[in-house]
Every structure is written in structure tokens, then in C-alpha cells.
Amino acid sequence: METTPDTSSGRPAYLGKDTPLPQSPEEAKLDYVPNPRQGALFLVRFTAPEFTSLCPVTNQPDFAHLVIDYAPEETIVESKSLKLFLGSFRDHNGFHEDVTVGIGQRLFEEMRPKWLRIGGYWYPRGGIPIDVFWQSGAPPGGLWLPDQGVQPYRGRG
């Protein structure tokens, strides 16, 4: 099964088109386009403050605030395809750790950026918030790395 659309034209495959939400992360195809600033060291950040997936035990929804940072190499991920990919987790069963790390690893393996990290700030399940972090390795020297800006979970206290 092809995992990414044909980007040989350098044009986004989904942008400006009516595209249904994929039924699963495996079905979702991420779209990568040429980096318009190849050779420049910069950081791209995507935030998904209303991410959802399903608990593999109870089948109840889990909610997270995801922050994805990466330093592009030859390609960048097209944001509509990323939105569709993340939306495909709505009916996907997975533990927080598997979902967060899986998203980061898939982006890193397919896009091949210089560096990538993901922070999954999950809302409490069973009274315990779970935060999951993954990165591809040490960030490149000289890369400006701002804090992900998500406060630790605090109850009403």
C-alpha cells in the first residue's frame, strides 16, 4: 500500500479539494512538498489542542494537546494532510504512548526532517494525566527551540 501521495509535481495532493477524513491512521496518506527554504535551519511547529483517540481497553475517548516541532530537510508536511492524519485517530484505539510516539515516528520516517519532536499532553484518565514525549535525536546546533508552551495539568485547585 502506498503511504504517501505522488508529490513529483511539487503540488499538494489534497489542498483545495474535498477530502474525506480517513477511517484509520493506516489509511491516511501524508502529503509532503518541497521545502521552499532548503539549506536554511528553521523550526516548524504544529499544535493540535483538541486531538482525540480511543482507549484500547474501554473504547472511551481520550483527549490530548499535541505539539509537533521539526526542522525540515528536503520536504515539509502539508498541513491539510496532517490535519486529516491526526483526525483519523478519532476512531483509533491506542494507548497514549503508542499514539504519540507512532505519530512522531511516522512523520520522521516519511518526511526525513533534520530533527523532529512531539509532545503529547494527555488529559487525565483515571485521575492521572499522562504526558508523552519523543524526539528523533539531539536537535541540530543553532536551532532555536522554544518551549512547547503547554502548562502541566492542574486541577481546579
Positions marked catalytic? 55, 62
* Pairwise CA distance, residues 105 & 117, whole Å: 9
* Pairwise CA distance, residues 70 & 38, whole Å: 14
Burial of 117 (C-beta count, 10 Å sphere; 0-12/13-18/19+): buried
* Pairwise CA distance, residues 118 & 69, whole Å: 6
DSSP type of residue 91: G
Q: CA-CA distances (angstroms) from residue 71 to 16, 76, 144, 155?
A: 26, 9, 10, 34
